[in-house]
Amino acid sequence: MSTSSASPASAAPDPSAPPPAGPREWIGLAVLAFPALLLSMDVTVLYMALPTLGADLHADSTQSLWIADMYPFMLAGFLVTMGTLGDRIGRRRLLMVGAAAFSAASVLAAFAPSAELLIAARALLGVAGASVLPSTMSLISTMFRQPAQRASAFGLWMMAFSVGAVIGPVVGGLMLERFWWGSVFLLGVPVMALLLICAPVLLPEHRDSSPGRLDPLSVLLSLAAILPVVHGLKEVARDGAEPLPLAFVAAGLVVGRIFVLRQRRLADPLLDLRLFAERAFSGALVVFLLGMITLHSLTLFFTQYLQLVEGLSPVRAGLWMIPFVAGTFAGLGLAPRIARRVRPARVIAGGLLLASVGFALISRVDASSGLAPLVIGSTVVTLGFGPLMVLGTNMIVGSAPPERAGAAASVSETGAELGSALGVAVLGSVGTAVYRGQLADADALDTVPHETADAAREGLAAVRGAAGGLPDGSAAEALLGAARDAFATGLGTVALISAVLLAALAGLTMALLRHVRPIGAPEE
């Protein structure tokens, strides 16, 4: 009896393909998601506690600003160094060191007796956070070797990260209702303790087999490049395009050029510039950074509109952001599935066009339109941004060699931090300029004292305090109404600019990333 040959359908799987992730890896992903949620929440959780702790610690306005800004400032500055250090000494090891340092710094911040010590503790939290964040992303790349699973894992990780940023002010407000201001910092201790317990069991160790020597001068140059740029952009957002903030940005760019030149000469660079030769890496990074500019400006104006125009409490404002988060979840969850059959560039570009439509809806918002246009428009925006966030990150980290995943993850997060700073500085400044110009033409300013008018020009938050001191209730209400209208006009202008930018960015995405094949598809 003759035997028939095996059919193609029963062919054995490709032995060279990476193995799929199992239950251990998915449980490990849950462990990595908790610190991601915590680290993003720590950027915003302090917003509600700042007035209380400022009064208790007798912090002046400058100290209060540094208490709020020191953590994201140091986080952005140390990402490149820590991402590369994790590749050298081991990503799980650096993750555990960072988690322990984060817990210790959280306790120090919670019981800080002075503003100076709290600022120092926030700086330590930023450095520790920079140790944890790229380590979690690079470990995901190590644990999930199949492209489709890796994209889904990054999507789940980003859901946690996004939730943390949104719920931070709400959690801070709830904690302050029941405990003292230091309690907002102690939230990180049990999360990091859980990570320290579970990491040795659930997370693999991975390091570069031939890491080379860490160059101390490159570390200093990276800090001297990133920190002045971030600081300068924050000052531009706060005070406008003054000479000193612009000088900080220029100085950082000059040092950045020196850093790049040194990396090209070193045998063991801190940042391997060969990563940027990969088209998927560099193209996704450019699109990711530019896209984050519009998303972070929306977050800034959205939260201010809820509390300052609509007058909502932090808890109610947080509840109105649930659709915002739901859009993010849907975009992050759907994009990897669609990208298994459709080229990622088309998925990302389609998402950006959808987000552009959402911004166009937001541009129609005015002080009398209510929350519906803003909530619907912002939900459409976050839905459209999901593909860029998850597929862009997957391309940036996934296109790097396994031994350079930590460095790639740090570059991705640095791009997000710079995009955030640029969004607040550039589009935030545009919104502020429109607000002041619109308010200057309002008749309500002619009926109030000069000092009240000057306070009103500083922003909508200052108007509420200044109007409360007016003896004439009708003049106060007219001033508040004019300020709300001016703020809504500024929001609409920023939204319209963002809509145009995203439409252009969709075209750039197709130009830079059209060569990337669907997730899991074999290379041609």
Check: CB of residue 363 under 8 Å from CB of residue 490.
no
Check: CB of residue 206 under 8 Å from CB of residue 91.
yes
Residues in CB range of 40: below 8 A, 6 or more apart: 161, 162, 163, 164, 165, 168
369 phi-psi bin (left φ>0, alpha ψ -120 to 50, beta other): alpha
Evaluate if residue 108 carries a pLDDT over 80.
Answer: yes
Give the pLDDT confidence score for residue 9 in this predicted structure: 45
Give the pLDDT confidence score for residue 1 in this predicted structure: 40
| SS3 assignment, position 471 | coil
pLDDT band at 356 (very low <50, low <70, confident <90, very high): very high
pLDDT digit string, tens, across residues 468-483: 666 556 767 777 777 7
DSSP string, 28-62: HHHHHHHHHHHHHHHHHTHHHHHHHHHHHTT--HH
pLDDT band at 11 (very low <50, low <70, confident <90, very high): very low
Check: CB of residue 212 under 8 Å from CB of residue 267.
yes
Cα distances (angstroms) measured from residue 451 to each of 114, 316, 448, 456: 32, 32, 8, 9
Give the pLDDT confidence score for residue 501 in this predicted structure: 93
Min mean pLDDT across 116-125, 297-306, 439-448 is at 439-448
pLDDT digit string, tens, across residues 142-172: 888 777 788 888 888 888 887 777 677 677 7
CATH number of 276-518: 3.30.70.1230, 1.20.1250.20, 3.40.50.1010, 3.10.20.600? 1.20.1250.20
Evaluate if residue 488 carries a pLDDT over 60.
Answer: yes
In angstroms, the CA 187 to CA 41 distance is 10
Check: CB of residue 335 under 8 Å from CB of residue 390.
yes
Give the pLDDT confidence score for residue 3 in this predicted structure: 42
Averaged pLDDT for residues 316-327 = 78
In angstroms, the CA 489 to CA 382 distance is 21
Averaged pLDDT for residues 185-195 = 85
Handedness of CA 355, 282, 78, 258 (dihedral sign): negative
Give the pLDDT confidence score for residue 447 in this predicted structure: 66
In angstroms, the CA 500 to CA 493 distance is 11
First to last CA, the chain: 41
Check: CB of residue 445 under 8 Å from CB of residue 182.
no
User: What pTM did the predictor assign?
Assistant: 0.79
Evaluate if residue 524 carries a pLDDT over 60.
Answer: no
pLDDT digit string, tens, across residues 432-453: 788 878 777 666 666 666 666 6
pLDDT band at 16 (very low <50, low <70, confident <90, very high): low
pLDDT digit string, tens, across residues 198-241: 888 888 887 766 666 778 888 899 888 888 888 887 777 666 77
Do the domains spanning 21-204 and 276-518 agree at the CATH topology level? yes
Cα distances (angstroms) measured from residue 449 to each of 379, 472, 475: 41, 11, 11
* Domain positions in the chain: 21-204, 215-269, 276-518
Evaluate if residue 304 carries a pLDDT over 80.
Answer: no
Give the pLDDT confidence score for residue 237 in this predicted structure: 67
Q: How many Cβ atoms sit within 10 Å of the Cβ of residue 201?
A: 10
Averaged pLDDT for residues 390-416 = 79
pLDDT, greater one: 428 or 357: 357
Check: CB of residue 188 under 8 Å from CB of residue 376.
no
Evaluate if residue 266 carries a pLDDT over 80.
Answer: yes
| SS3 assignment, position 269 | coil
Looking at CATH, the fold of the domain delimited by 21-204 is given as Growth Hormone; Chain: A; (1.20.1250)
Q: How many Cβ atoms sit within 10 Å of the Cβ of residue 433?
A: 14
| SS3 assignment, position 299 | helix
